[in-house]
Amino acid sequence: MKRRIGIVGAGVAGLTAAIRSLELDADVVLFERSHVGSGSSTLSAGVFSVNQLDRLTLEVRIAARNYVDWLENERGLHVRRDGYLRLAATDEQLARFEESLVLQEALGIEPSTVLNRDGLNSLLPELRIDDLAGGMLNVRDGRIDGSDLCNILAEEATRRGAIIHLNAPVVDAQRTSDGTHVLISSRERWECEFVVNAAGPWASHVGELLGQPLPLVNQRHEILLVQLPRNYRYEGPFVQEYVPGAATEGVYFGGEAEGTLIAGLHSHDVLAGLASEDPDTYSRTIDWNVIERVARKLSHRLLLDDMSFGNGWCGLYPVSPDAAYIVGPYADDPTIIALGGLAGAGLASGLAVGRIAIEWALLGNPTTVSDATPFLPDRQSLKVPQATLNA
């Protein structure tokens, strides 16, 4: 008899988990409260990159990019490979970039390139470099459209046999006398052996229904459209100032359409002053204070006159208390699988951590990466009261 999986959330991570379940010969039903990718997946900047600094995150990003390659070649996913440049403000950060190159080569990919100030200037003459030590560039990285990705993943999942219920929030979760899970929505009552909580910004609420916490801070982030000076054409890579572990936000920017950039502020960390937002009621209006901060930081970094800022969109980063992903079974109930805390990297990592979550359930140990235990949901660094996180 096939094992039965119930997945709450049809974003990139949940859809990838469904596909991996089907590869491992399980039956799958996904419950999505709205439309495919409605939580954060379709509201992101769509960036993917292997320019990471620790081995586990690098393994995740390599696996995700390999999946992007497959979707591009086999399923027609449009991929914009402008490259990805992470900036180093200090010599210490630049040394960490050099260490990343050694890791990348050891893991079997063509490594990124570390640039000094002169290299940055040659790559992007408009970039202010006097306060930088250098950067790390990977030319195969880039961007994908979240809606396009989610739709292709949903088609792939249904083609393989998954059932996706849209406009079907899970309103209750019960257990039968033999321990079987019962997920109840307005559309379906589904009995299953395993439940995967991939609900994105709603994952803390779903965790409460399941009786297993998934502590998150839903931090609101804006993505702005920046109009460039007339007769200027941006042809550089996607640029990111944030360096993992910096515990602050950094400006990012990249080409969008002719004469337009996207730009915003990014961090994987829980930032002071950003309380957790309710995913059902948070404001989608662009905050002028954020526009001012982005404009100030971008004008400092990109030396162009007459940039104009205004329109854009908002989304939520579901951030964990320790800034790491929360993926895997709970020790006291391994039939409930956490799949959250992807912050602003759901597209970049969801294509891998969705697989990891299901491999924990069906294989007992992930094969996508060498060791996923640092992501497990019972780690001590997550023992923070949700009320504290919501403050």
Query: Domain 83-142+217-319 carries which CATH code?
Result: 3.30.9.10
| Nearest-5° Cα angle at 252, 247 to 254 | 160
Rounded-to-integer distance, Cα 131 and Cα 15, Å? 42
CA-wise closest residue to 79 among 49, 112, 113? 49
The pLDDT of residue 91: 97
Domain ranges, ordered by start, for the chain: 4-42+146-215+322-390, 83-142+217-319
Is-above-0.85 flag for pTM? yes
Report the pLDDT averaged over residues 230-244.
Answer: 94
Other CB atoms within 10 A of residue 184 CB: 16
Tens of pLDDT, residue by residue over 82-93, are 999 999 999 999
From the candidate CATH numbers 3.50.50.60, 1.20.120.530, 3.20.20.60, 3.40.50.300, the one assigned to the domain spanning 4-42+146-215+322-390 = 3.50.50.60
pLDDT of residue 388 exceeding 60, the answer is no
Cα separation of the two ends of the chain = 46
**Residue 98 CA: distances (Å) to CA of 52, 134, 231:** 11, 11, 37
pLDDT of residue 391 exceeding 70, the answer is no
Percent of the chain with pLDDT over 90: 88
Rounded-to-integer distance, Cα 353 and Cα 327, Å? 7
Report the pLDDT averaged over residues 38-42.
Answer: 92
CA-wise closest residue to 142 among 265, 234, 236, 14? 236
Integer-rounded Cα Rg, in Å, for the chain is 21
For the ranges 122-131, 266-275, 367-376, the lowest mean pLDDT is seen at: 266-275
pLDDT band at 144 (very low <50, low <70, confident <90, very high): very high
For the ranges 23-32, 54-63, 342-351, the lowest mean pLDDT is seen at: 342-351
Whether the CA torsion 350, 351, 352, 354 is positive or negative: it is: positive
Q: Are strands 84-88 and 238-240 parallel, antiparallel or unpaired?
A: parallel
